[in-house]
Structure 1
Amino acid sequence: MMYYLMERVNGSLQEWQKTHDMKLYQNINSGRTRISYSYYPQFWIDMRKRPTFEEALVHLIKRSRPLENTNQTVLVAGGVQWLNPDHLQIIHKVLKRENLLDILVIIKSIGMGFHLPVHGIRSLSPVQVKQLSGENRLILKTAKLYGYEVVDTFSITMGRYKEFLQGKCGCHFHEVLKSKQVKERKMKLLKNYTFFGKIFPHVYDNLSYLKSLYHVQGPVNQVYSEILLSRMCT
């Protein structure tokens, strides 16, 4: 989602890498916007040494300062499977302590990527999926109590198994192509596609995207990334 938004705002994507760490970008929106990103949880670290969610959030805030305590500062938090209502409580506690309660917080809910019946990846039974749906509703309810915006990726990804792009992480509804691949595939792709009765144009119909070194592709990812963008710009 982050790289999609970078490409959307800048009109091109000149830098991309698999991000399982902290990254800072200052070349967004002609230098007027900065993006800080932190990957959580760092599952490859021993449990006893792994940073907690609160520690990761505090570290991200400190690395991102100076920050304005206004809705011009946006915190987006979410995870495919680990997010639960307790994390929202931690977000509120940390923001209060850091004097950032007036920033815009957007919660990206649970996704179905890890839970789809894809060969080679663990999946959930129908009963477990129902339980997961209940957990997601609780996340949305808790977010509303704190006044946070939400992007309900669970409902978007629930039935979109055909767009699931299996990779080593097994949770993605997008892929990043190099510019040469974009040009090769461009003629093979439909000009528009429909999602919930709404027509979405493929972003690479705009010729400026063909000048990118990279392009983020995936209709499901595009839909919830555009929703995220609309939450930021409301």
Structure 2
Amino acid sequence: MDCVQDPTALPYLLLLRVAPEQSLAFHPNKTEYRIDVPYEQTTVEVRAKALYCNAEARLDDRLGPARPVNYTLGLGFNRISVVVVDIRHAEARVANAYVLSVFRRERASRHGTRYSAVCGLKQSCGQVIYPKEACGLQAEDTEKTWSSVVLRMESLDACRSGYEDGRWLLPCADCANPDSCVWSMARWAPFRCRYPAVSNASLQSCLDGKKLLFLGDSTNRGVMYYVLMRLNGTLGEWHRSHGIALHAQRLNGGRTAAGFAYYPHFWLPPNRRPTLARTLARLADSMPPLDNSASTVLVVGGVQWLNVKQLSSLTTALKSLGLDKAKIIIKTFGSGFHLKAEGGQPMNLRSQEKLGRTNRELVRRAVELGMEVVDTFNMTSARFMDFTQGSCACHFHKVVSDSLTTYRVEGPVNQAYGDILLSRLCQQGKAGPT
């Protein structure tokens, strides 16, 4: 199919296609499209071509690539933009924009049947990080019914750390058939203890007078917004901040303050990226006055950037700020970067296995340094296909509008490790091995 020389064709596309192939019922005058894909489809390739010969179809924005692009598909809606630009000028000018909404369905759940099995999931067979351990759904031999497993979990002692070995538990008709399970009822369950639920009233009380500092990438930002939503009952504001964002007003009646600093600044050249210590100092300077006590809480972590050496640099940086008695909580690695997407190569299985070993070393060293740990790696890698929108395939939360002025944070995996963080924030006593 060839382009045309007629300038009136400038705003239009000649073609818009996706792979795996689906019928879009494409027409140049139609600028919005929607397709639905199954849970199992985690990527889509989009290609487009401009109708006018002196125009280009670019993906994402006017500076985006003018070639086929592979996108990861998070659960729910994924918005993909195709921009038609006029290339007759030194700087490309936008002539039109098309929007493709791709809705990826949730994992199939079977409701209304008799659940004859309780199944556990420690790692997915689609991403075997621990070769010596079983993958996929495994029958919980000691449990007869879902109600009995819930009662047993509630009878366990409270966990003394946030890095307990565990698995996802859920009711199924047959552990050999994942589609026979009710995935909406899945619960993260440590083997030997439980994380007590923290009521909103208890949370407001235990965070009274606290200053919460979150340092990390968008996954840590998602944890922060879950904490703020739980603290206030709803989320009054949110930002996809890649700098510093403060939340001091109207938080817990003004009795709690929270701040977030994005790290690392991966979009900058390496020699221009602020150090971890510098980013922490900027965040601390932006907050209301901080006490050198456990009332100042620093939550650090992200997808896969944190390393063992940085743990020691954190303690040094806090000491230089006069905050050596602050409480430090390390959020460990998360699943991500396992799919082919624009701007990078996916991690192979060997790299994922190495990541698992590094994560264990990170936990060990953090505990040695007296830090709290919330281990999110196994929780996310076991459900690595349950990510939400984002090219990294590493987000397990999304912020949705409740009304014109309020929002809520959704995502069962993010909620599960967010609740562990709340449990550690509000649990008395030192962390320690169980």
TM-score, normalised via structure 1 length:
0.81
- Letter matched to residue 25 of structure 1: H
Say if 1:41 and 1:53, in contact at 8 Å, map to a contact too: yes
Whole-Å separation in 2 of the counterparts to 1:78 and 1:35: 16
Say if 1:173 and 1:220, in contact at 8 Å, map to a contact too: yes
Say if 1:23 and 1:38, in contact at 8 Å, map to a contact too: yes
Whole-Å separation in 1 of the counterparts to 2:288 and 2:402: 34
- Letter matched to residue 417 of structure 2: Y
> Cα–Cα, structure 1 residues 212 and 153, in superposed 2: closer, same or farther, change >3 Å?
farther
How many Å apart are 1:134 and its aligned residue?
A: 0.9
- Between structures 1 and 2, the one with greater helix share: 1
List aligned pairs for 1:37-116, cutoff 5 A.
37-114=260-337, 116=338
How many Å apart are 1:4 and its aligned residue?
A: 0.8
The answer to whether residue 382 in structure 2 is matched with residue 159 in structure 1 is yes
SS in 2 for 1:23: strand
Q: Deviations over 1:91-133 (max 9, x none)?
A: 111112222121110000011123x346667432221111111
Aligned to 2:397: 174
The answer to whether residue 402 in structure 2 is matched with residue 213 in structure 1 is no
How many Å apart are 1:170 and its aligned residue?
A: 3.4
How many Å apart are 1:169 and its aligned residue?
A: 4.7
Tell which structure's C-alpha radius of gyration is larger: 2
Among the aligned pairs, what percent are the same residue? 42
Whole-Å separation in 1 of the counterparts to 2:359 and 2:425: 21
How many Å apart are 1:219 and its aligned residue?
A: 0.1
Whole-Å separation in 1 of the counterparts to 2:369 and 2:292: 16
SS in 2 for 1:161: coil
Say if 1:12 and 1:212, in contact at 8 Å, map to a contact too: no
SS in 1 for 2:270: coil
Say if 1:113 and 1:173, in contact at 8 Å, map to a contact too: no
SS in 1 for 2:292: coil
Q: Where does the alignment leave 5 or more consecutive residues of structure 1 unmatched?
A: 181-210
Q: Where does the alignment leave 5 or more consecutive residues of structure 2 unmatched?
A: 1-222, 428-434
Matched length: 203
List aligned pairs for 1:7-22, cutoff 5 A.
7-22=229-244
List aligned pairs for 1:125-140, cutoff 5 A.
125-140=348-363
- Letter matched to residue 231 of structure 2: V
Q: Deviations over 1:13-70 (max 9, x none)?
A: 1111212110111131111000011000112223222211121112212222511111
List aligned pairs for 1:183-222, cutoff 5 A.
213-222=406-415
- Letter matched to residue 278 of structure 2: E
Please give the root-mean-square deviation of Cα atoms over the aligned residues, in Å.
1.8
TM-score, normalised via structure 2 length:
0.45
Whole-Å separation in 2 of the counterparts to 1:136 and 1:212: 39
Regions of 4+ moved over 6 Å: none
Say if 2:339 and 2:393, in contact at 8 Å, map to a contact too: no
